[in-house]
Amino acid sequence: MSTTQRNAVTISGSESHRPMLFAHGYGCDQNMWRLVTPAFQDTHRIVLFDHVGNGRSDLSAYRDSRHGTLGGYSEDVLEIIHENDLRDVIFVGHSVSAMIGVLAAVREPDRFAGIVMVGPSPRYIDDETDGYVGGFQHTDIEQMLESLDSNYLGWSSAMAPVIMGNPDRPELGEELTNSFCMTDPEIAKKFARVTFLSDNRADLPRLRVPSLVLQCSDDVIAPTVVGEYVHKNTPESTFMALNATGHCPNLSAPEETVDAIKSWL
């Protein structure tokens, strides 16, 4: 199966331009980048895709053995890169895809020119053994996963607006809710466990390409202390605090997101 079929890969722009590969977050799809990518269309080759289980991806391509870890999703990314002979890639990953990009770049650094991490978190659960603050207690995550397992659509309707933030713009929360509800629920439940129980702290020091950490304010999923941790533990990283609130600046503040990425580039 080609990656175009498996991950609904779409590519636009001149082959002579440096590729920018955009990876969406949990419960989303490539459409979440529609307000950001036009700003780079004239200068970069734009590569978009859907993680298996999301958007227009081929659901039959999901494998527990592969997609039971974030490493399996990073393998999908690398296969997209190889199949389309992409080099010098600028990888832009939102939320969990930030760590997926880190894993891919650690494995094959020669393929990447840089990593942009939008609202990253290497571990969502606090770790009392070393004082790490991820923003959640283990019981918080287990309760969330239980709620998701028992009533995925109800969980989506309740959580999406909280994740999005920006309560004064309810249409943003509604869009994220609709995106969650269009995701295959069985795969979404499994991907939630992979996402929220992951621990990629040890991978950050292994990243050997320049990176940008974009941190929103009032982000309930990846609070500022987490973004600062990512920056502090990642070589060659740059930290930028956005005025944008919530967890999805690609939707709530696309112009500020674009300006931050462009200034870093």
Please give the positions annotated as active site. Answer: 95, 219, 247
Task: For residue 241, give both structure tokens.
Answer: 């605090």
Measured in whole angstroms, how far is the alpha carbon of residue 73 from the centre of its chain? 11
d(CA 231, CA 245): 19
Measured in whole angstroms, how far is the alpha carbon of residue 234 from the centre of its chain? 17
Strand 112-118 relative to strand 211-217, pairing: parallel
Strand-pairing partners, residue 132, are 127
The closest of 217, 187, 242 to 66, measured between CA atoms, is 187
User: Is 124 within 8 Å of 136 (Cβ atoms)?
Assistant: yes
Strand 44-48 relative to strand 10-12, pairing: antiparallel
d(CA 99, CA 198): 10
Strand-pairing partners, residue 199, are 123
- Helix (H) / strand (E) containing 19: strand 18-23
- Helix (H) / strand (E) containing 102: helix 96-107
Residue 189: CB atoms within 10 Å: 17
User: What is the length of the chain?
Assistant: 265
Q: Under DSSP, is residue 263 helix (H, G, I), strand (E, B) or coil? A: helix
